[in-house]
A and B are shown apart, each in its own frame.
Chain A
Amino acid sequence: MRLQDRIALVIGAARGIGAGIAARFAEEGAKIIIADREADIGAATAARLGGHFVGIDVAQKADAERAVATALERHGRLDILVQNAGIYPWTLIENIEPAEWDNVLGVNLKGTYLAARAALAPMKAQKYGRMVFTSSITGPRVTSPGHGHYSASKAGINGFIKAAALEFASYGITVNGVEPGNILTEGVQQGRSPAFIKSMADMVPLGRLGTPRDVANAVLFLASDDAEYITGTTIIVDGGQTLPEGADFRLNPE
């Protein structure tokens, strides 16, 4: 198993991509701590994976520190940090009030810095650590209306990944990220018709939306020994969605 007995803290893992990451890690032998704002679902996910749950708001410094402290109390070390918590309200920039901006940047970007900072001390002491952050193609590569704050937060994560990779490298800590495309989570399925979902899939060269497991596999790779010489980079997991200029690739003769 590729993560045998590694201690992994996965923040934002009650549902969706984060739950997929935690489940994939557990399959590979890791011991899991799930941190999330959603206590009921988070605890159920943790129980299903034989892990432990801690309720936190990652935008709060004390909460991020408590999540790391929980891992240390239970297992004495922390090998892997995944910060996947993110929110994506749909609001046009002309209507984004400062409080909403602060909330999105608080969870997505500040939460990433707070989690990294909290995990740094134990990883530095161990001279070993793997940090993997969930960014997005939305912001770093492309965007769509209504995602001004979200795009800014995710592009910010990519910059932070490079800075943290550089500062933490001499401690044996690598810092990388994944940039998911359209992933078929409960959140994405909600309120969208099958026809609309199919139209989304038609825009992807591989012809389907991604699954949480698709993203989890990339995170697993970055957290594993196979990625030992990789730091400061991101892997785009989008089925090729951000490659074509238009939709005419679908006319490719079969």
Chain B
Amino acid sequence: MTIDQLLVYFFGACALLGGVLMLVARHPMRVALALISCMLSLAGIYAMLGVHVVAVFQVLIYVGAVMVFMVYVIMLLDVRDPSFLRRYSRVLLPGVVLGALLAGALGISAIRLGAAAIQPGAGASASAAPSYLVQPFSVEFLREYWLHFELTSVLLVAAVVAAIAIIRSGRRSDG
């Protein structure tokens, strides 16, 4: 067992711990911090797997943009909200049972899939394995997928317009 493998296990355990803490934490700020730690652990896993681009984007976009936005919104809202005090809804028991069933079914499928189809490391050792480092990835990305890259900017503009429309419609119904 190499140090790489140990680090992947460590980051995986941290991600699992963050996910469990999200379910049991009471205040939304703690939930956000648990989610941030989970995302950072996933970024660590990506970096250990050699997918550096995804790791960088995970930290920049998810932790840097999405979760900072979320933390700001939590700070904006009222701390004495009743949902901050009562954590769980009425479907707590069925929800947990269903989630455990889903995790079990997915786990069994993962075990059977891994035994049947996928040989670990078979694809990575195949010929012409692509490099996921930042420089070769970005060259290849902007050469092959430039149209998709431009279309994402259209999507982002549409999202901004939609957000402004939601805020404006809410103001109109208030006053």
A and B: bona fide binding partners? no
